[in-house]
Amino acid sequence: MTLSEFKTKLNAVEHLDFQLPDGSLVPAHFHVTEVGEINKRFVDCGGTVRKESKINFQLWEAYDFDHQLKPEKLKKIIELSEKQLALNDLEIEVEYQSGTIGKFGLEFNGQQFQLTSTKTNCLALESCGIPNDKLKINLNGVILNNSANSCSPSGGCC
């Protein structure tokens, strides 16, 4: 979700709810401690120089159980960030700490913002020798449901 998409969705909610990938919610007393743009320059394992830019929201929770961030307040934080930092309309990455700092994508289900899992990936598969396609296996000759060749918990094979 881009920053402009987030602002549009923000107008449609009365409460800010962020749902983690496991279905649990970020506690209601969270704060957005940072809104910014992160620029990353790097060299992939194939030697290609790359650049990645994202808008970053950092969610943080403390022991301030009496306050809840309202959509209007977050709009003001975003507006100030856009003005002070000249933010571009980029994809949003959300940082949230549970066991360690996690980086999440962001989606909206019509009621809640959903933090989505992110994954690493090799950007130079052709240079690494890792196949792009899934492994193809010929299943001809495979015997299914043959009790002589199958394993059962009491059969001693596993």
Helix axes 3-10, 71-85, angle to 10 degrees: 150
Give dist(CA 86, CA 7) in Å, integer: 16
* Two tokens, residue 96: 């949230």
Interval 14-52: pLDDT, tens: 999 999 999 999 999 999 999 999 999 999 999 999 999
Confidence of residue 91 (pLDDT cuts 50, 70, 90): very high
Identity of residue 16: L
pLDDT over 90 (residue 98): no
pTM for the model stands at 0.77
